[in-house]
Chain A
Amino acid sequence: MEKEDDKSDRRKFLKLGALAGGVVLLGSAIGKAVSLDSTKETGEKVKVLTADGKLMEVDGCNMKHPAAVKLTNQEMRKGIEGKKFVMVIDLAKCANARKCVEGCQKMHHKQAPTEWIKVKRMQDAESLTPYWMPQPCFHCDNPPCTKVCPVDATFKREDGLVMIDNERCIGCRFCMAACPYNSRSFNWSEPIIPQGMEAAEYSIEKSFPAKIGTVEKCDFCPDMAREGKLPDCVTACPNGTIFYGDQNEDTVTNGDQTFRLKELLTNRSGYRYLEELGTEPRVYYLPPVNRDFPFENDTIVHNTEDYKII
């Protein structure tokens, strides 16, 4: 019963053409969410995308900044209600600019050599042309990593995200061994925290501040999603390679272009990497056909800088 109520509530919500989070908000509206409460009209119009894929204008008074509620650990373990986060990576657009890697490192205060999103040179066979493949955590629906965690420090949320509680992780690294994609990194030494942020309180959704001796990885930036913002890997890409969105809402966006998820995957023959492993990734790839760029081998060796050994 409860579930149905949830659903019908959501439909009503969708019909009203108002959605929080993954909604595409244009221009100045980014960073705001739409609320149902109607107050005095301000005259300021904001464009939003409706559930059936139409752009419409609503009055600014319907937008409000989400209240800065401090989330409890339990809420962060549960996830954002009604969401199913998803990513689509268009391999035809990737030119190995590596801006996603840098953007992610900057946003999450990570230093080389740790990369939560990697860009790999892939070549499926010798007779085939290579392509570049950005690889974040796949946030699998059948995650091999959360299964093996002995203390529930890494877990699957209702919004599809696989998260880590760095205050609980015991550092056994079984999840790293279990992840067939090597998406996970380890804090081998005391993490470097930027000046002035030392006192920051730990947040699962921010994956910050990092803790020595614990595992970490790409978290799909749910803290940004709560604010209606896109992850930095999406916005940093100069070619719009990475699309981020919500499966329930059936939309994904790279900030410039917005697509219906189902249509995009159908029209562009979307696939998931190593589907046969049965991990059910939440990251889809669009094959590198009709490429925006010819493949060019990278002449620079990236990420050679090692940890500073104490």
Chain B
Amino acid sequence: MKKASLTDTVASFVVARFVPDFQGRGPALLGVLIRPGEEHDIFWIFRDNKGHKAEQHGGYIFDFQDFDTRFYTGIQVGSDPGLPLVWTGFIMILIGFTLSLLGTHRRIWVRIIPGQGGGEILIAVDAGKNRKGFEERLDEACRKIFTA
């Protein structure tokens, strides 16, 4: 909003709001009269004033004669030189999570030591993560093998 200085004084006037139609009473402006050392005077001014001609405030007369609308367009332009990096990051995070969450690095060693009367089977395992879950699954597997 533009602040207009009033002629020959230190007072100024600001249009704080414009309403094309104020509750059916036509176009209106919300004006603020600023005078040093005094409180701001805030008031509505109507173009289609019926009754009295203009608003009187602080010794000034405010008259809303007419208004004119102008069209404008805003254009935002952006440049994104880091875009390939962003996409690489997105794809890497997805591939990384998929591999680490849905895949596990596990190693199993089975050693069969022949001996009299059947011998021995030695099983050693190592899991990169979720050892507890792997342990349970291994126990289950061992039960199945050794009861068979």
Q: Are A and B part of the same complex? A: no
* Chain B residues close to A by CB (< 8 Å): none
